[in-house]
Amino acid sequence: MPKRSDIHSVMVIGSGPIQIGQAAEFDYSGTQACRVLREEGIRVILVNSNPATIMTDPEMADATYIEPIDVPILEKIIAKERPDALLPTLGGQTALNAAMALGKAGVLDKYNVELIGASLEAIDRGEDRELFKKVVEEAGAESARSEIAHTMEEVDKCADDLGYPLVVRPSFTMGGLGSGIAHNPEELHRIAGAGLHYSPTSEVLLEEGIEGWKEFELELMRDRKDNVVVVCPIENVDPVGVHTGDSITVAPAFTLTDREYQKLRDIGIAIIRGVGVDTGGCNIQFAVNPKTGRIIVIEMNPRVSRSSALASKATGFPIAKIATKLALGYTLDEIQNDITKSTPASFEPTIDYVVTKVPRFAFEKFPGADTTLTTSMKSVGEAMALGGNFQESLGKAMRSIDKRHMSFSWDGDKPTPEETKQLLEAAHTPTEHRYQQLQRAIWGGATLEQIFDATKVDPWFIEQLIGINKTALDVRDAAELTPRLLKKAKQAGLSDLQIAHLRHLGDAGENVIREQRWKLGMHPVYKTVDTCAAEFDAATPYYYSCYADESELRPRKREAVIILGSGPNRIGQGIEFDYTCVHAVQELGKDYDTIMVNCNPETVSTDYDISDRLYFEPLTFEDVIEIYEAEKKMGPVKGVIVQLGGQTPLSLAARLKAAGVPILGTTPESIDLAENRELFGKVLAEKGLNAPRYGTALSLDEALDAAHSIGYPVLVRPSYVLGGRGMEIVYDDAQLKTYVNRALAEAKADTVVSGRLASPLLIDKFLSDAIEIDVDALFDGKELYIGGIMEHIEEAGVHSGDAACSLPPNTLSADQIRRLREATYAIADGVGVQGLINVQYAYMSNTLYVIEANPRASRTVPFASKATGTAIAKAAARIMAGETIQQQRDRGLLLAHGDGGDMRPGQPIAVKESVLPFKRFRTEAGKTVDVLLGPEMRSTGEVMGFDRDFPHAFAKSQLAAYEGGLPKSGNVFLSVNDTDKRHLPLIARRLQELGFDLYATEGSASVLRRYGIKSKIVDKIRGRMDTPTGSAPVTRAEGSVGKNVVQLIEEGKIDLILNTPNSRGSRADGYSIRAAAIAADVPQFTTITEFSAALLAIEAVKAGDYEVMSIQEHAKQLFDLEAKAAKAEAEQAAASTEGATEA
């Protein structure tokens, strides 16, 4: 069946900001969809609020709207663009829910827009718990015993009928949000209450507990002719009870019998038919009772899912690409397999290797959070590895996580029987450390039966862990490391570093082990991912390493550039760095063979047809140096780019250079000049630039001396970190002692001398009430090009990754911008940058301070690129390869005149806002973790608001980041600290003028009374309620409404909150207010500056509606303004010259 001829334009909805449960995999799938549609000659209209994505690049669609995914705005775009069809199945739950809302609002019918990929009815049958249960029954399969509830009263009745434990699953949510396993009524009320809140239809399914069963997933695709393929079976190593996104998963499935697998296939095919997905893909999850073989269908996603990206990368079968072609009317037998070039997509993939995915967590960012893994997803990223067997694949995946002490370790003494018992007890509760606990328990003598009883992990996987442990102990105890034993260790997934530790050689011994391997000629070989277990030749160079005999690398003729990616997504190093890597690949691929190295299955960079060669490998020194050595034999290598993937590749730069690898762009020596505090201080001094007073410390005494010399408050952080990891504002000696002692405890394994840290703490004077600015720039050794100057909306003290910011800056003067430009040039020149640099500044009392400089791509590069209409990362790649900024102007990658730091009349405003994952994390007492922002980054993603002025742009950013955006009317709660009380009357008066009613604490209400402003007084919460663990003693206020603000929030009577905490010591005050607001999705602000911006935004939206404009139109407008300004400058210069000549 050929492509449909009646579809000429298609709107694609993206997934919005990166969130837990919905991450970079949808940039990958959306990008594939846009590329397919354009190749088919179809006009593409893309809507996504996330600027840090490849799919929102202007080349990916004919009209790209970086706008909130909100029904009124989507309707504006549909009315303007008039698409024939809407494709919502590649943008995660966000796009699916948006399509449902557009359908229910009548927008699709009004503009005659057809839904393709899945019908509204199919989406409903797949997502609505009650309808899906009927589909499963009609397919002859079984669901868990369950009941549907829409209220807490119905929840209690279901619990009476079903008994405990109960699994709570909300409808239409992503990543298990609002789900959980309840063992008693208290847990049930907490979990089900959240589930009803987060479900758009206020619906939860309560089902019998099946904890401990084995869990599997199938990825299926179906076309209009009813051809169905099973792309990939995936097995969870953790049993049911841990969300599949938080479990280690493997492909193919290892512990199913052939009969069980065929039964899963039959059920899956019957369900995809029953739901009605006939032009796309779906993901179905199953539970299998390990004792009886009973199969239960857990749920399905009638769309491309997180697991679809994993299955695509695991098999080489491009699910999103094929789903898009199916939506256009093609059938599976008409679509060619890209990798073999000789088989159709109707051939099911077969793999002859093992794929393992390991999640990455960020609990360290959320002190007090319960680290137990449940059915609600908590991981922020994942790494995938391919190997010749499970042990090898698991070892590679664990070191790909790029987190110290997350691989298996045999350091220290063998666990005693008592310690082994404690390890088994700890492993009973699933956490991110479960498999490290099991490995040490096995070392301590735990049996397979004991481990199974504690965890219900299938015995086959336990046997593999026992095998890894045996090999490791053989390596440790052997008199000599023979070639045979060394190869066995590598095939068991042990790294050179692990082997060095087993041989008592320490970290430095890694080089010794590598040299020993190389003397023996023992290198990994590289195999091709071919979708067909080598039955057909693979045309696509997509490689993984293993310790086997035959390599499948092919010689090449062109000079190559190796680009190191950023590894698994994490807070502080996310999709923004993949964006810059992909841009480098796209641009350098015009003149070089591009070789991409990465281990993240969610990303565009690991799509097999983005680069000339893809290595799906860990980003460790051992793995990268092996790739470099292998590629040198295949053809010339110009060098390696480490500047674009964040801190992970940057940390390898010095070792790679020392090993003889040419580093393109900024040298490791220059990187050290910027990152070493003492060296950077000398650069600033030589250039006459100010920095906050600072010191460094390796011990508590040194830290106290530095703090006393600088003066409190101070900002304390470790050296060489990304995302503000471990950063804290410290106000006194007691807090500093707590910080340093915690750092010593965490670094115990890395500390050489007792009481001293392995690397120094950086201690800076904290700049209170300062304006913070980010500058992204390019430098070629002579010329500076400002990519963007971004002014933070919050004052200094909030990490730049969490702060909202505007471009162009919304309050800086021309003189202040000039000083920023001059300082950035001086720093780039002093450090010796060749490529990108990001500098963070603060203006305090109009004095410019340099906070830090990062000689690499920053997380703001995509935002600055979209806001200024220029390809900053592409230009950076060219500069790193030896070209100049002027050449990039000539190419059209950069503005022909001026740069992103110029301010032009009529220029639209872009506002970046961060998206925070607080609703995912609760304390062990079931309370939300504290949401107060500080110097350590905690956001997972970002959105962009783009409009004619700052108030409208800021309003859009809030609408994109938080469902419903800012309220236009209702009740506002005000509670500010003493420092901020002087700002309160103007804010309160304006709120009243806009029609809001005011509620305030007694102290804030007292200030308002003196200005003749009426407010309703609420009771103040004091004492233990202000911590994430306690109850709520209340102090009655005279003349109060008789309730505290938490009660009012929970009753739905508060629509907006301003709650600024005290700055000294008690910044945790008001925790309960912030927690209640998060639970109720009430917009809240903890700084006066951002609330003032919100006030302007509310006023602007009430006065006039948003404008929608594609970024292609924005770019044309910007370039026209630039050309107009350049022409005016030229005319002025000519007039000046003419006047001088006449004189």
Of 15, 19, 53, 460, whose CA–CA distance to 235 is shortest?
Answer: 460
Q: Do residues 531 and 352 touch, judged by C-beta distance below 8 A?
A: no
Strands 663-664, 637-641: pairing is: parallel
1068-1087 in b/e form (b: 16+ CB < 10 A) is ebbbbbbbbbbbbebbbbbb
Of 129, 119, 127, 188, whose CA–CA distance to 154 is shortest?
Answer: 188
Of 305, 320, 277, 311, whose CA–CA distance to 34 is shortest?
Answer: 320
**Given strand 663-664, what is the order of strands in its sheet?**
525-528, 542-546, 613-616, 593-598, 560-564, 637-641, 663-664
Question: Is residue 503 marked as binding?
Answer: no
DSSP 8-state assignment for residue 798: S
Question: Is residue 450 marked as binding?
Answer: no
In Å, the largest CA–CA distance within the chain is 102
Question: Is residue 210 marked as binding?
Answer: yes
C-alpha–C-alpha distance, residues 911 and 793, integer Å: 9
Question: Is residue 243 marked as binding?
Answer: yes
3-state helix, strand, coil in the chain (%, to 5): 40, 20, 40
700-710 helix and 733-746 helix, angle to the nearest 10 degrees: 140
Question: Is residue 112 marked as binding?
Answer: no
Question: Is residue 852 marked as binding?
Answer: yes
DSSP 8-state assignment for residue 337: P
Question: Is residue 267 marked as binding?
Answer: no
Q: How many Cα atoms sit within 13 Å of 396 on the Cβ side?
A: 33
Q: Do residues 20 and 90 touch, judged by C-beta distance below 8 A?
A: no
Q: Show the tokens assigned to 757.
A: 């840290």
Question: Is residue 135 marked as binding?
Answer: no
Question: Is residue 241 marked as binding?
Answer: yes
Q: Do residues 255 and 460 touch, judged by C-beta distance below 8 A?
A: yes
Question: Is residue 840 marked as binding?
Answer: yes
Cα–chain-centroid distance for residue 559? 33
Is the dihedral angle over the CA atoms 767, 770, 774, 775 positive or is it negative? negative
C-alpha–C-alpha distance, residues 515 and 328, integer Å: 55
Of 1076, 1122, 687, whose CA–CA distance to 896 is shortest?
Answer: 1122
Question: Is residue 169 marked as binding?
Answer: yes
Q: Do residues 1039 and 1086 touch, judged by C-beta distance below 8 A?
A: no
Question: Is residue 767 marked as binding?
Answer: yes
Beta-sheet strands, E only, within 686-825:
694-697, 714-718, 728-730, 761-765, 771-779, 784-795, 805-807
Over the Cα atoms of the chain, what is R_g? Answer: 29
Question: Is residue 781 marked as binding?
Answer: no
Q: How many Cα atoms sit within 13 Å of 64 on the Cβ side?
A: 26
Question: Is residue 788 marked as binding?
Answer: no
Question: Is residue 817 marked as binding?
Answer: no
Of 280, 316, 318, whose CA–CA distance to 301 is shortest?
Answer: 280
Residue 1019 phi, psi (nearest 5): -65, 145
Question: Is residue 449 marked as binding?
Answer: no
Please report which residue ranges of 142-276 form alpha helices under DSSP H.
152-162, 185-198, 258-275
List residues forming the annotated binding site for Mg(2+). 285, 299, 301, 840, 852, 854
List residues forming the annotated binding site. 129, 169, 175-176, 208, 210, 215, 241-243, 285, 299, 301, 717, 765, 767, 772, 797-800, 840, 852, 854
List residues forming the annotated binding site for ATP. 129, 169, 175-176, 208, 210, 215, 241-243, 285, 299, 717, 765, 767, 772, 797-800, 840, 852
List residues forming the annotated binding site for Mn(2+). 285, 299, 301, 840, 852, 854
